[in-house]
Amino acid sequence: MVTRILTIDDSKTIRLLVARAFKPFDCQVIEAANGVEGLAVAAREKPDLIILDITMPVMDGYETLTRLKSNPELKNIPVIMLTAEAGRDNVLKIARLGVRDYLIKPFKEEQIIERAGRIVDLKTRGESSHGPKRFDEALQLLVVDDKPAIHELIRNGLSDTPWVVEGRVSAEQAIDYCSSCATPDVVLVSLSIPDNAAFNLFHMLRASVMTKNVPILAMSVKTALEEQVQATHIGFNGVITKPIDLTDLKTRVTRVLNLDTSYKYYQIRQGVMVLSLPQMLLPSILNEVSFHLRAKLVEGVDSGVNKLVIDMSQVQAPDVRLIKLGLQAMHFCSELSVRHSLIGSEAVCKECKSYEETKDWRFVNSFEEGLVALDGKQLAAV
């Protein structure tokens, strides 16, 4: 749900500044130019947060706040006061009126976001409005390690992906990057950076509205068990041990970001859905294929594609897990009235003969033959 923020300020400049500050977030900023207007808008819109100026014509911030707090329907809306007056008396007066927080002008946009983020759940626009990111998107990985060689190792190791690796050698540099550049999709922090800085960095990233939901993976040498336990305990999203296994790293990033990898296995070709299985059937790959199977078939049926070709021609070492996946596919096809055909390697055909449930499966040799089989024409069984 979109967070609704009401800014009550007689200055259009300030209202524009507030609206601009919240632009990266899934927020709707509503404006009012004085207290009277603000109370009417608050009653009508029931915002999640009000940012209220003090010095205003018609009705000032003090009176507006007093009226808000005396209205049973509005009194629970949190209010942040925006004031140019930092004096003791003013601050005490504001506090007594029941504001959740206050911000002294001049202010930076980050400050208003930080204060608001303590009160309402701010989600960046991409976070809530789009589905999961795809594996082949240009994801930003921030690698924090005092050894630049590690940045390079990860950068080179991920060069077969479109992912962008930004290396930083200290927690300070990482914070600067996060506050001045784009928010990274994932942060990898070495637990060995000096002065316990990895843990401090973790807390700082979690405290910032921009990075509070960014997955943070710890990097640690295999033998440093104590720091790994500590990292898990404080809430790191996972620990990657050094030396880094880059295949494992890709899998971990895929998991923590819940990346959509279905496009690697499911395509639409000539009006038919094709499920292509790779040569090496790692458990992680089978899990991914299985995870997306029903959703992809439903998606196909909804868009008028009700034929499936399962291409297992590349699979060289089939086992019972492949058989289970095949049976699962048959079940879904039957449930959704999707016609299917199978392309199999010699090894797959042989493996299927050894199970009661699959011994009668018929395989074809190519996609073209698969299309013919889907049209109901008989082909010689392989």
Angstrom distance (rounded) from CA 108 to CA 115: 11
What is the DSSP secondary structure assignment for residue 13, as one 8-state letter? H
Q: Which window, 82-90, 119-127, 132-140, 347-355, contacts another protein (CB under 8 A)? A: 82-90
Nearer to another protein, 12 or 46 (CB): 12
> Which helix (H) or strand (E) element contains residue 90?
helix 88-96
Minimum CB separation from another protein for residue 310, in Å?
53
Minimum CB separation from another protein for residue 127, in Å?
23
Q: Compute the Cα dihedral for 107, 113, 114, 120 and give only its sign.
A: positive
Minimum CB separation from another protein for residue 86, in Å?
5
The site string for another protein over 119-158 (x = CB under 8 A, - otherwise) reads ----------------------------------------
Q: Which window, 7-15, 112-120, 259-267, 306-314, contacts another protein (CB under 8 A)? A: 7-15
Angstrom distance (rounded) from CA 65 to CA 79: 8
Minimum CB separation from another protein for residue 186, in Å?
29
Position 14 contacts another protein (CB under 8 A): yes
CB 343 within 8 A of CB 308: no
What are the backbone dihedrals phi and psi of residue 271, each rounded to the nearest 5 degrees, phi first?
Answer: 75, 10
Minimum CB separation from another protein for residue 157, in Å?
38
Position 108 contacts another protein (CB under 8 A): yes
Position 180 contacts another protein (CB under 8 A): no
| The binder of another protein chosen from 12, 46, 125, 321 (CB under 8 A) | 12
Position 351 contacts another protein (CB under 8 A): no
Position 182 contacts another protein (CB under 8 A): no
How many residues sit in the footprint of another protein (CB under 8 A)? 24
Position 56 contacts another protein (CB under 8 A): yes
Q: Which window, 9-17, 131-139, 199-207, 253-261, contacts another protein (CB under 8 A)? A: 9-17
Nearer to another protein, 80 or 293 (CB): 80
Q: How many CB atoms lie within 10 A of CB 231?
A: 24
Which residues have C-beta within 8 Å of that of residue 192, sequence separation ≥ 6?
145, 146, 198, 220, 221, 224
Position 181 contacts another protein (CB under 8 A): no
What are the backbone dihedrals phi and psi of residue 377, each rounded to the nearest 5 degrees, phi first?
Answer: -80, 145
Position 63 contacts another protein (CB under 8 A): no
321-358 burial code (b ≥16 CB/10 A, e <16): ebbebbeebbebbeeeebebbbbbbeebbebbeeeeeb
Nearest CA to 361 out of 316, 315, 310, 319 is that of: 310
What is the Cα gyration radius of the chain? 28
CB 194 within 8 A of CB 149: no
Position 235 contacts another protein (CB under 8 A): no
Nearer to another protein, 62 or 163 (CB): 62
| DSSP-derived pairing of the beta strands 27-32 and 3-8 | parallel
Name the residues that contact another protein, by CB under 8 A.
Answer: 10-14, 16-17, 20, 55-57, 83-90, 104-108
